[in-house]
Amino acid sequence: MSLEAGASPECVAGVRGFSRFYTQRMGLLDRELLASGFTLTESRLLWELARHAPLTASRLCRDLGLDAGYLSRVLRRLRAAGLVREQSSRKDARAHWLSLTAKGRRALAQLELASHRQVARIIGHLSQPSQRQLVDAMDAVRGLMTPSTQAAQITLHQPGPGDMGWVVQRHGALYAQEFGWDGRFEALVARIAADFIEGFDSGRDCGWIARRDGVNVGCAFVMRAPPAEYGDGVARLRMLLVDPAARGQGLGDRLVRECERFALTAGYRSMTLWTNSVLHAARRIYERNGWQLAKEQPHRSFGHDLVGQTWTRTLPSPD
């Protein structure tokens, strides 16, 4: 038996060892997930249908890499339990759309709560910096193990109708989940989004929405900095966000570089941004792309004591 080309025996053993540790630590070896009555596959199907329904069985097979016969048997059990409904497409009688019933949504809500509590118990003994280090490491693992063909599916688009609402909502939800920030942060993002829309100048402002398979997974914006405060020729990088589902694939760097390219062609001489020190992953993105930390200042915002940071980037001369 020979190893695949390029895979060292030590690294293969290391990955297998981590897999054994992780599956046992998360209770994935149990017959039922979190004593819910559902297997891991059934739980994942409920989650996918809650997030992306309506879906076809063929789409679920493709996205989750499941055997069609096995998926059919699992869906049959979920339909029999009244958790999933199937409806024929009005446009194509051969297509059948799957979605959750009200009972299915209630079952998933209970499962999500149990999963949240389980993870909170597992990581609760860690300090906040250690928790962020753990999540960053997981993001790195996910990025390294994502096939390059999947990473290439992420495309950048100019914001369209409804996208700015997503930007505000996703910032609010994600920062509340990951850092415990309250609704005042979402209000701040809403004001920035409104300023972008109302004061938009195509020669000085630009924004990008990152999408994968039609789903928004990231964003970043360039806006002119007020000359009275920053001087002439300064652009601000604003509302940079990478959804957890797309982390570890270089999307943050890609969005920052896209903003820099636009700023350069728009005639800006430098860029600036404001962030907070707890955003470690964002800091690494800025450092990799040549940004410099200009100043720090403690403040209390969004229900927490934070350290605000101003980062700057001098753009190369167009000559």
pLDDT at 150: 54
Calculate the dihedral angle through the C-alpha atoms of 260, 261, 265, 266, rounding to the nearest 10 degrees: -40
The average pLDDT across 142-155 equals 68
Whether residue 165 has pLDDT greater than 50: yes
> How do residues 202-229 score in pLDDT, each as one tens digit?
999 999 999 988 889 999 999 999 999 8
CB 147 within 8 A of CB 201: no
> How do residues 244-256 score in pLDDT, each as one tens digit?
888 888 899 999 9
CB 43 within 8 A of CB 36: yes
The average pLDDT across 65-90 equals 90
> How do residues 262-293 score in pLDDT, each as one tens digit?
999 999 999 999 999 999 889 999 998 899 99
> How do residues 105-138 score in pLDDT, each as one tens digit?
999 889 888 888 898 899 999 887 788 788 778 8
pLDDT at 30: 80
pLDDT at 81: 94
**Tokens, residue 286:** 């800025």
- What the chain holds in terms of domains, given with CATH numbers, is 153-314 (3.40.630.30)
